């Protein structure tokens, strides 16, 4: 990993922290604006595999994903929340996204790779709380002087998950 410079490191960290705040405040339309039109938002299934100690299949191999969305599908998920009949999010979850261990590296041109860890709390209907722990591999692209997420790979550390994943990572 190569930190290109401290100013860029700070800029990327602040972008990721702002994204976390936007999610925790439930501003999902603003969150959508942080993505490029050609984004891939991907969470592969993680399992214990002898051949793959990482627990995920290498990219390009056929494997099941928990989430594999483009921007159009992310927009549909947000629109569904707007209806008030998204059962898994009625009433809306309380979330807290903690982002840490941000590292960046040059990806060439106007893009960089940002690696980070996360801890996400989800509170549901005063009855259940969930914690999600993992890492994100983001490809950020400079667009009109700011950053946008062009690709996000989410790797959860746990393999046993609640019935449905209704929050954004």
CATH code: domain of residue 10: 3.10.450.50
Which residue from 103, 105, 100 is spatially nearest to 118, judged by alpha carbons? 100
Is 1 among the domain residues?
A: no
Instruction: For residue 33, name the pLDDT band (cuts at 50, 70, 90).
Output: very high
| Average pLDDT for 33-42 | 97
Is 169 among the domain residues?
A: no
Residue 58 dihedral angles phi and psi, to the nearest 5°: -60, 145
Is 161 among the domain residues?
A: no
C-alpha dist (Å) from residue 55 to 48, 89, 130, 156 = 5, 29, 21, 10
Chain-centre distance of CA 110, in angstroms?
21
C-alpha dist (Å) from residue 149 to 4, 12, 21, 39, 136 = 18, 11, 16, 7, 12
Is 39 among the domain residues?
A: yes
Is 130 among the domain residues?
A: yes
| Percentage of residues of the chain with pLDDT beyond 90 | 62
Is 14 among the domain residues?
A: yes
Is 18 among the domain residues?
A: yes
Count Cα atoms within 13 angstroms, Cβ side, for 3: 12
Give pTM, 2 decimals: 0.88
Is 119 among the domain residues?
A: yes
What does the mean pLDDT of the chain come to?
Answer: 88
Checking if the pLDDT of 62 tops 80, the result is no
Checking if the pLDDT of 3 tops 60, the result is no
How many other CB atoms are there within 10 angstroms of residue 62's CB atom? Answer: 5
| Structural domain of 62 | 6-156
Q: How many structural domains compose the chain?
A: 1
Q: Using only the alpha carbons of the chain, give its radius of gyration.
A: 16
* Cα distance between residue 147 and residue 160, in whole Å: 33
């Amino acid at each position: 990993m190569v930190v290109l410079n401290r100013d860029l490191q700070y800029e990327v960290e602040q972008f990721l922290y702002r994204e976390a705040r936007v999610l925790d405040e439930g501003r999902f339309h603003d969150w959508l604006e942080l993505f490029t039109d050609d984004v891939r938002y991907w969470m592969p299934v993680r399992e214990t595999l002898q051949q793959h100690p990482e627990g995920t299949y290498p990219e390009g191999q056929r494997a099941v994903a928990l989430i594999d969305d483009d921007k159009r599908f992310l927009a549909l998920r947000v629109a569904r929340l707007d209806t008030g009949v998204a059962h898994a999010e009625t009433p809306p979850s309380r979330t807290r996204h903690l982002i840490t261990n941000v590292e960046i590296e040059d990806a060439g041109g106007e893009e960089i790779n940002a690696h980070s860890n996360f801890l996400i709390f989800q509170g549901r209907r005063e009855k259940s709380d969930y914690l999600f722990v993992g890492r994100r591999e983001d490809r950020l692209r400079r667009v009109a002087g700011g950053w946008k997420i062009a690709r996000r790979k989410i790797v959860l550390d746990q393999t046993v998950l609640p019935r449905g994943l209704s929050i954004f990572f």
